[in-house]
């Protein structure tokens, strides 16, 4: 039963309304004005965003570093120019990710202890078959892309590609958490693999791989429950700073390791002179060719056709040798 106000309470309430201490109720059928500070945002319950935009940008920055390193590793392995870049970074449900993949394809299940759960690495047949053809000595000219699962031999060849991808993933993730990426299982039909529930949120990093006129995609699927323990470590500013620092260090190390094993052409010039064609045609064993260079002068050593060092002719263990004495001037005569 509702309480009944006495006359004193009614008088006190009317006085409070007149003083502005109590707001009058809005008439029926008329909406109450919404507070200006209230913010309304559209939220799709079918595609919940559990990773913030800053965290997504940080993940994208991490995998941009992976794309550069992986592209350089593939280029040196395949002896051709390979371009890898991050094309997309988005949040999907696992069901949407699976249905976006071709069937059959190159589908790898990854484990990354100590992180729990599994990730997915998918490489499109549009680029994986040209890579296999390149490994087997083909030219990729007018190559037909077969619509069939990979054979056992092809899987062994693809393993050389995925191993390099996992090494680079382990490297770029090492500053976030010490993990070791490994392939736990391979499959040709992605619809047969169920690592999380269909409605579970996953982060999908889509990469584009170009090799000459051929191009294809590579997708890395990261379920939210896998990266949830370390999601708090992702900060845009720190990761962008790490990216700039790591890029320079990685480039120096990569260029140094490649240059150390590069072969160069080295030649030593005893002297230089000019003779007529007639003299050249009549040269016989035992003839002496006179030069203007003194016998005690240093010998110029060229590397790839450019003056690099000067030295003196000698003998070492029965072989002719040159002892380097100094650096040569670029314009120094031979």
Query: Quick check: is 212 in a domain?
Result: yes
**What does the DSSP 8-state code read for residue 51?**
S
The pLDDT assigned to 137 comes to: 84
The pLDDT assigned to 182 comes to: 92
Query: Quick check: is 5 in a domain?
Result: no
Q: Where a domain ends, among 209, 225, 260?
A: 260
Closest CA to 53 of 77, 89, 99, 85: 89
CA distances from 251 to 66, 140, 256 (A): 12, 29, 8
Based on the fold, state whether residues 323 and 240 are members of the same structural domain.
no
Q: What is the mean pLDDT of the chain?
A: 83
Query: Quick check: is 9 in a domain?
Result: no
Based on the fold, state whether residues 101 and 140 are members of the same structural domain.
yes
pLDDT at 108 over 70: yes
Based on the fold, state whether residues 256 and 271 are members of the same structural domain.
no
Instruction: Write 39-42 long-range contacts (CB < 8 A, 24+).
Output: none
Q: What is the arithmetic mean of pLDDT over 259-272?
A: 83
**What is the CA 226 to chain-centroid distance, rounded?**
20
Query: Quick check: is 242 in a domain?
Result: yes
Structure tokens at 263: 């072969």
pLDDT at 291 over 60: yes
Based on the fold, state whether residues 74 and 124 are members of the same structural domain.
yes
The pLDDT assigned to 42 comes to: 65
Work out whether the CA dihedral 284, 286, 287, 292 comes out positive or negative. Answer: positive
Query: Quick check: is 310 in a domain?
Result: yes
Based on the fold, state whether residues 157 and 61 are members of the same structural domain.
yes
Based on the fold, state whether residues 237 and 186 are members of the same structural domain.
yes
Based on the fold, state whether residues 79 and 179 are members of the same structural domain.
yes
Burial letters 273-307, b for 16+ CB under 10 A, else e:
eeeeeeeeeeeeeeeeeeeebeeeebbbbbeeeeb
Q: What is the arithmetic mean of pLDDT over 148-169?
A: 92
Q: Where a domain ends, among 212, 243, 260?
A: 260
Closest CA to 102 of 188, 10, 223: 188
Instruction: Tell me which H or E stretch contains 35.
Output: none
The pLDDT assigned to 26 comes to: 52
Count how many domains the chain has.
Answer: 2
Based on the fold, state whether residues 157 and 284 are members of the same structural domain.
no
The pLDDT assigned to 275 comes to: 87
Query: Quick check: is 231 in a domain?
Result: yes
CATH number at residue 286: 2.30.330.10
The pLDDT assigned to 181 comes to: 92
Query: Quick check: is 20 in a domain?
Result: no
Give the range with max mean pLDDT: 54-63, 149-158, 282-291.
149-158
CATH number at residue 118: 3.40.1550.10
Ramachandran area for residue 207 (φ above 0: left; ψ -120 to 50: alpha; else beta): beta
Based on the fold, state whether residues 195 and 253 are members of the same structural domain.
yes
The pLDDT assigned to 208 comes to: 94
Half-sphere exposure of residue 272: CA atoms within 13 angstroms, side-chain side: 9
Q: Where a domain ends, among 235, 260, 285?
A: 260
At 237, the pLDDT band (50, 70, 90 cuts) reads very low
0.85 exceeded by pTM:
no
At 236, the pLDDT band (50, 70, 90 cuts) reads very low
Based on the fold, state whether residues 79 and 104 are members of the same structural domain.
yes
Domain that holds residue 187: 53-260
Based on the fold, state whether residues 270 and 253 are members of the same structural domain.
no
Query: Quick check: is 34 in a domain?
Result: no
Closest CA to 116 of 203, 227, 232: 227
The pLDDT assigned to 1 comes to: 46
Q: What is the arithmetic mean of pLDDT over 37-56?
A: 68
Based on the fold, state whether residues 303 and 216 are members of the same structural domain.
no
More confident residue, 32 or 156: 156
């Amino acid at each position: 039963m509702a309480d009944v106000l006495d006359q004193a309470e009614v008088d006190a309430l009317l006085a409070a309304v007149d003083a502005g201490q109590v707001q009058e109720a809005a008439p029926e059928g008329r909406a109450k004005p919404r507070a200006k500070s209230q913010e309304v945002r559209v939220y799709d319950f079918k595609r919940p965003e559990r990773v913030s935009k800053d965290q997504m940008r940080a993940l994208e920055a991490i995998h941009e570093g992976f794309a550069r390193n992986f592209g350089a590793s593939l280029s040196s392995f395949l002896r051709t120019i390979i371009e890898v870049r991050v094309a997309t970074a988005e949040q999907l449900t696992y069901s949407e990710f699976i249905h976006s993949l071709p069937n059959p394809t190159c589908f790898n299940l990854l484990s990354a202890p100590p992180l729990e759960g599994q990730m997915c690495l998918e490489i499109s047949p549009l680029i994986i078959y040209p890579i296999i053809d390149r490994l087997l000595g083909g030219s990729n000219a007018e190559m037909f892309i077969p619509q069939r699962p990979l054979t056992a031999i092809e899987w062994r060849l693809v393993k050389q590609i995925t191993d390099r991808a996992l090494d680079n993933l382990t490297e770029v993730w090492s500053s976030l958490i010490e993990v070791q990426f490994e392939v736990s299982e391979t499959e040709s039909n992605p619809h047969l693999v169920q690592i999380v529930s269909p409605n579970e949120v996953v982060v999908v990093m889509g990469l584009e791989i170009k090799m000459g006129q051929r191009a294809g995609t590579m997708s890395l699927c990261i379920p939210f429950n896998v990266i949830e323990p370390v999601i708090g470590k992702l900060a845009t500013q720190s990761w962008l700073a790490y990216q700039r620092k790591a890029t320079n260090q990685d480039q120096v190390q990569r260029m140094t390791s490649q240059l150390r094993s590069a072969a160069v052409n080295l030649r030593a010039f005893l002297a230089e002179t000019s003779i007529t064609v007639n003299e050249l045609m009549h040269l016989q064993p035992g003839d002496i060719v006179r030069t203007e260079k003194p016998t005690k002068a240093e010998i110029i050593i060229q590397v790839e056709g450019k003056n690099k060092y000067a030295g003196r002719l000698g003998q070492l263990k029965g072989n002719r040798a040159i002892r380097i004495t100094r650096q040569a001037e670029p314009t120094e005569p031979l």
